[in-house]
Amino acid sequence: MDSTPASINFTFDRSCNLKCPSCRVELIMAKPGKVDKINTTLDFINNNYAENVRKIFITGSGDPFASKSFRKFLQEFDYKKYPNLQDLSLSTNGILFNKKQWDLIKNAHPYIKTVEISIDAATKNTYENVTRLGGNWEILMDNLEFVNSIESIENLRLSFVVQQSNYKEMYDFTNLIIDKFKSRLETQRTKQNTIVYFGQIAPWEALTAESYKKQAVAEPTHPEHNELIKEVGKVFTLSNQIKIESNLTNLL
């Protein structure tokens, strides 16, 4: 307790409004007993760690707006308890990131400098029926337009988990983001930073060994690996229009 953390990841609630096959096999929402345990952890952080924290990351285990506890933390955020906080980063699927939710967490607005929205598709069919089960493409598109209007968000990352079922949409996804965030990209040379990120699928516990082998197109032994290399090459032809980051660059 004499040396408390400067950075904390809120990954202790798996509650999410989607059931993406790369992450889970069923919808997960914390039940009352689990909610109590999560709230106890949050109380401990507020009472013992808040003073020295410089960065908070929510979440990585679920969605900050789907989590009853994390949503309440954001709505009741007390900046006086966090005098050294510089960045409150949000990682979300974007479905619940609308004006109503944003207005409810107004106390946290000055600290939310970094936002990641994980999408994993460029078409309604792939999004709703393959990679983001439970999602709604039209709602997502509307919410992306809203996020584009929030000038206080300095760092915005639109992420895409590359797998066999979606890798041929990487190029179209990049163009989609360029179109949706045109006004942000026009100011990118000033304070705003917009990034498209492609990351290869990981062998999370929700995937069987067989499923992972089928989806892990970045593996050299995958039968479609050479096709992925071509798609990655196409994506990076757009790097003059938007910043692109990836752990697939070794394929170029």
Amino acid found at 55:
K
Q: What are 147-153's contacts with CB under 8 Å, separation 24+?
A: 147/94, 147/97, 147/115, 147/117, 148/180, 148/181, 148/183, 148/184, 150/102, 151/192, 152/109, 152/110, 152/112, 152/113, 153/112, 153/113, 153/114, 153/115, 153/192
pLDDT bin (cut points 50, 70, 90) of residue 248 is: confident
- pLDDT tens digits for range 157-170: 999 999 999 999 99
Using alpha carbons, list the distances in angstroms from residue 246 to 32, 159, 216: 38, 9, 15
Q: Over 60: is that where the pLDDT of 191 sits?
A: no
Considering the chain, what is the average pLDDT of its residues?
A: 94
Q: What is the CATH number of domain 7-251?
A: 3.20.20.70
Confidence of residue 188 (pLDDT cuts 50, 70, 90): low
pLDDT for 197 equals 96
Q: Give the whole-angstrom CA distance, residue 27 versus residue 14.
A: 10
Task: Please provide residue 135's backbone torsions phi and psi, each rounded to the nearest 5 degrees.
Answer: -85, 165
Residue 106: exposed, middle, or buried by beta-carbon count in 10 A (0-12, 13-18, 19+)? Answer: exposed
What's the rounded Cα separation, in Å, for the pair 228 and 66? Answer: 33
- Prior bond of 59 cis (ω within 30°): yes
Residue 190 has a pLDDT of: 54
Rounded distance, CA 131 to CA 110, Å? 33
Mean pLDDT, rounded, for 25-48:
96
pLDDT of 2 reads: 75
What are the tens digits of pLDDT across the range 25-36? 999 999 999 999
Q: What is the mean pLDDT of residues 91-95?
A: 98
Tell me the pLDDT band of 252, cut-offs 50, 70 and 90: low
156 pLDDT tier (thresholds 50, 70, 90): very high
| Residue 180 burial class via C-beta count within 10 angstroms: exposed 0-12, middle 13-18, buried 19 and up | middle
- The angle formed by the CA atoms of residues 208, 134 and 9, to the nearest 5 degrees, is 70
| Type of residue numbered 22 | S
pLDDT greater than 80 at residue 101: yes
Reported confidence tier of residue 3, pLDDT bands at 50, 70, 90: confident
pLDDT at 20: 95
- H-helix or E-strand containing 72? helix 68-75
Stronger pLDDT, 135 or 186, i.e. the higher one = 135
Phi/psi for 123 (5° steps) reads -135, 155
pLDDT of residue 167: 98
